[in-house]
Amino acid sequence: MAAASSQGNRILRGIPVSPGVCRGKTFVWRPADAEVPRWELREEEIPAEIERLERALVDTRRQLLDVQRQVREVMGAEQADIFDAHLLVLEDRVLVDEVVRWITRERVNAEYAFHRVAQKYMAALASVEDEYLRERVADMRDVTNRVLNHLLGRAHGIDLSHLRDAVILVAHDLTPSDTIQMDKRKVLGLVTEVGSPTSHAAILARSLGLPALVGVSHALQEVISGQYALLDGFNGTLILNPSDQVLFEYGQLVRRQITLEEKLREVVAQPAVTLDGHRIPVLANIEQADDVEAVQACGAEGVGLFRTEYLYINRDHPPSEEEQYEAYRRVAAALCPQPVIVRTLDLGGDKFLSHLVSQQEMNPFLGWRAIRLCLQQPEMFSVQLRAILRASAEGNVKVMYPMISGVDELCQADVLLEACKQQLRARGQPFNEHLETGAMIEIPSAVLVADVLARRSKFFSIGTNDLIQYALAVDRMNERIAHLYEPTHPAILRLIRMTTDAAERAGLRVGVCGEMAGEPVLVPLLLGLGVHELSAAPPLVPQVKYLIRRIKLSEARELAAWALQQESAAEILRRCRALAHEAAPLLFQSRRVDL
């Protein structure tokens, strides 16, 4: 979005994706391979620098062999062979000799020399006709990053450990692998140049309760690390060097927010019951076992979505059955008897596993993702299913399959689940024989065959983040078309209604665990369309409960019946807003500041 200036403040605009206001110093983060330091060497330092390079190559080779061995054990020889190409890059003497020549002739450090030579190779490979060679660019990039990590002694992802105070983090994009190890206590708010309300940065910000903006174009050019700024996650602005007047205006807004938070604290211990007496379970979405404390603190009634892929990313081998069992067990035991819906691995799309998804795909969201990937990796999938089954002995665990497009995938997953049960019986390990399995409804084809899926599921959970992207053909990560990503599009309402109708005929309950469920404005519409329960990021749970306690289910049904007759997404959104604002004005009063 364009930058503008007012009252001497520099204002950058973006898409507000997580509410709240924060102020502090900025920290601009650029991906690892964009920042390779260069320094000059003295003549006598050159031999030691070449030795340092050789050592990094040996360490990288050892690391790759280790990964290859682990992948062979878990996923078989074919997947492990992928690493032969990586190892060949390291053994390429022509490349290594050229790096050594750079160090010697240019008298530059090893990381800079390696980076320059690798860039040249990648550019050459990318331009050849031969498809096989072109695909080697990804291998080369992976190996280059590993070698540079060894040379620079840096871990994958964003390292904020050197910062004394928390910062407003500004980045081009924030992927799960960038942020998984990041010290979240050092972050006041997030700003990215790309993304949309359902991109990882937005979901992360909401789950941490941090204000955030996405789609702030040229943020990396405009913002300088260390600059003082104010981030308004309600109205979508990042104000650089805010004036005293602006700080005063926002001081008022922050005070209104504090009043609201006090009110919201009251609903934590109260159930979400509508004014006409319907109880709506509100659950929480989590990404790791540690989030269980946030679930308890926000007053959620269990976990409606445990995104398990975060256990898998940024590591050299998949987590073992024991490690996964421990994570799922911890959550299940802490919340028992409340339900914990564990979603099986949803890698692919924007969530990559460094050693597994090594090929660049043209359309990752339409590609080797989620249940498709798991069914082709049965050994790895079974490790997870056994861990979930074992955790089911310790709490109210349910399992949910992501990206189901038709009944065959559901059947194949169930066959594997049954085999895992047999293995556990043979081992004498306990599990819940009646473990419930559910399907995520997030692909339009799943909606169309929901009646068939309902015969083989115990529950449905609608993943609106993906359902909207696939139904409207709008990439959920792309800020340029974010305006087309419309949750109130008539087609989306019909898809949700078709799902709840099919579920009702089969006697199934339907939840929503996409981001729509955490937006108070849209909650009455979802309930009116026949959704039984909602699952949202923990910081959003109190406002969802607060809103539910101030509406009648009958008026939500009237709203939905009216909306299903409408043609315009904007018109539907307007009426949803009007209803929510009238029912719970306090939730919205404190959001606006005009600059």
Residues 440-459: x where in contact with Mg ion by CB under 5 A, - otherwise, as a string: --x-----------------
**329: partner contacted, choices Mg ion, ligand PEP, none (Cβ within 5-8 A by kind):** none
Cis check for the bond before 337: say yes or no (omega within 30 of 0): yes
Between 438 and 463, name the residue whose CB sits nearer to ligand PEP. Answer: 463
Please give the helix or strand (H or E) that residue 18 lies within, else none: strand 15-18
Q: Give me the least distance between CB of 285 and ligand PEP, in Å please.
A: 7
Establish if 463 lies at the interface with Mg ion (CB under 5 A): yes
**19: partner contacted, choices ligand PEP, Mg ion, none (Cβ within 5-8 A by kind):** none
Q: Which of residues 339-368 bind ligand PEP (CB under 6 A)?
A: 346
Q: Which of 200, 317, 355, 532 is catalytic?
A: 200
For residue 132, how far is the Cα from the chain centroid?
A: 31
Q: Give me the least distance between CB of 343 and ligand PEP, in Å please.
A: 8
Between 166 and 526, name the residue whose CB sits nearer to ligand PEP. Answer: 526
What SS3 state is found at 401?
strand
Instruction: Give yes or no for a contact between 532 and 462, defined as CB atoms under 8 angstroms apart.
Output: no
Distance, CA of 562 to CA of 530 (rounded, Å): 14
Candidate residues 139, 178, 466, 486; the one interacting with Mg ion per rule CB under 5 A:
466
**514: partner contacted, choices ligand PEP, Mg ion, none (Cβ within 5-8 A by kind):** ligand PEP
Of the candidates 408, 405, 432, the residue with the CA atom closest to the CA atom of residue 420: 432
What SS3 state is found at 183?
coil
Instruction: Give yes or no for a contact between 108 and 41, defined as CB atoms under 8 angstroms apart.
Output: yes
**115: partner contacted, choices ligand PEP, Mg ion, none (Cβ within 5-8 A by kind):** none
Counting residues that bind ligand PEP (by CB under 6 A) gives: 10
For residue 395, how far is the Cα from the chain centroid?
A: 26
Question: Among this protein's residues, is 200 annotated catalytic?
Answer: yes
Torsion angle of C-alpha atoms 360, 476, 456, 438, degrees rounded to 10:
100
Q: Give me the least distance between CB of 111 and ligand PEP, in Å please.
A: 35
Between 242 and 463, name the residue whose CB sits nearer to ligand PEP. Answer: 463
**464: partner contacted, choices Mg ion, ligand PEP, none (Cβ within 5-8 A by kind):** ligand PEP
Q: Give me the least distance between CB of 184 and ligand PEP, in Å please.
A: 18
Inter-axis angle of helices 77-91 and 46-75, nearest 10: 170
**441: partner contacted, choices Mg ion, ligand PEP, none (Cβ within 5-8 A by kind):** none
Q: Which of residues 56-115 bind ligand PEP (CB under 6 A)?
A: none
Listing DSSP states for 207-227 in one string gives HHT--EEE--TTHHHH--TT-
Structure tokens at 471: 């139904």
Of the candidates 85, 72, 79, 117, the residue with the CA atom closest to the CA atom of residue 98: 117
Between 293 and 361, name the residue whose CB sits nearer to Mg ion. Answer: 361
Of the candidates 287, 275, 168, 198, the residue with the CA atom closest to the CA atom of residue 518: 198
Between 32 and 356, name the residue whose CB sits nearer to ligand PEP. Answer: 356
Q: Give me the least distance between CB of 200 and Mg ion, in Å please.
A: 12
**16: partner contacted, choices Mg ion, ligand PEP, none (Cβ within 5-8 A by kind):** none
Residues 505-534: x where in contact with ligand PEP by CB under 6 A, - otherwise, as a string: --------xx--------------------
Q: In degrees, to the nearest 5, what angle opens at C-alpha 65 toward C-alphas 59 and 69?
A: 145
- The phi, psi pair for 311, rounded to 5°, reads -75, -20
Amino acid making up residue 407: V
Residues 424-443: x where in contact with Mg ion by CB under 5 A, - otherwise, as a string: ------------------x-
Q: Which of residues 408-467 bind ligand PEP (CB under 6 A)?
A: 442, 463-466
- Specify the residue for token string 């805010």: 242
- The phi, psi pair for 578, rounded to 5°, reads -60, -45
Q: Give me the least distance between CB of 362 and ligand PEP, in Å please.
A: 19
Structure tokens at 201: 């940065």
Structure tokens at 375: 């069914």
Q: Which of 150, 513, 532, 576 is catalytic?
A: 513
Q: Give me the least distance between CB of 283 and ligand PEP, in Å please.
A: 12
Q: Give me the least distance between CB of 466 and Mg ion, in Å please.
A: 4
Q: Which stretch binds Mg ion (CB under 5 A): 188-196, 217-225, 445-453, 465-473?
A: 465-473
Between 347 and 420, name the residue whose CB sits nearer to Mg ion. Answer: 347
What SS3 state is found at 584?
coil
Structure tokens at 153: 């002694």
Between 343 and 386, name the residue whose CB sits nearer to ligand PEP. Answer: 343
Q: Give me the least distance between CB of 517 and ligand PEP, in Å please.
A: 9
**295: partner contacted, choices ligand PEP, Mg ion, none (Cβ within 5-8 A by kind):** none
**202: partner contacted, choices Mg ion, ligand PEP, none (Cβ within 5-8 A by kind):** none
237 Rama sector, left if φ>0, alpha if ψ -120 to 50, beta otherwise? beta
Strand order in the sheet with 212-214: 3-6, 9-13, 237-240, 228-232, 21-29, 167-171, 187-192, 212-214, 15-18
Between 257 and 308, name the residue whose CB sits nearer to ligand PEP. Answer: 308
Q: Give me the least distance between CB of 196 and Mg ion, in Å please.
A: 14
Of the candidates 143, 82, 125, the residue with the CA atom closest to the CA atom of residue 359: 82
Half-sphere exposure of 540 (CA within 13 A, CB side): 32
Q: Which stretch binds Mg ion (CB under 5 A): 125-133, 462-470, 477-485, 524-532?
A: 462-470
For residue 389, how far is the Cα from the chain centroid?
A: 25
Question: Among this protein's residues, is 156 annotated catalytic?
Answer: no
- The phi, psi pair for 28, rounded to 5°, reads -95, 120
Instruction: Give yes or no for a contact between 350 and 175, defined as CB atoms under 8 angstroms apart.
Output: yes
Between 189 and 463, name the residue whose CB sits nearer to Mg ion. Answer: 463
Between 220 and 468, name the residue whose CB sits nearer to Mg ion. Answer: 468
Q: Which of residues 274-313 bind ligand PEP (CB under 6 A)?
A: 305, 307
**513: partner contacted, choices ligand PEP, Mg ion, none (Cβ within 5-8 A by kind):** ligand PEP
CA 80 to each of CA 77, 351, 356, 432: distance values in angstroms, whole numbers, following the listed order: 5, 20, 9, 34
Residue numbers of the site for Mg ion (CB under 5 A)? Answer: 442, 463, 466
Residue numbers of the site for ligand PEP (CB under 6 A)? Answer: 305, 307, 346, 442, 463-466, 513-514
**So which residues are the catalytic ones?**
200, 513
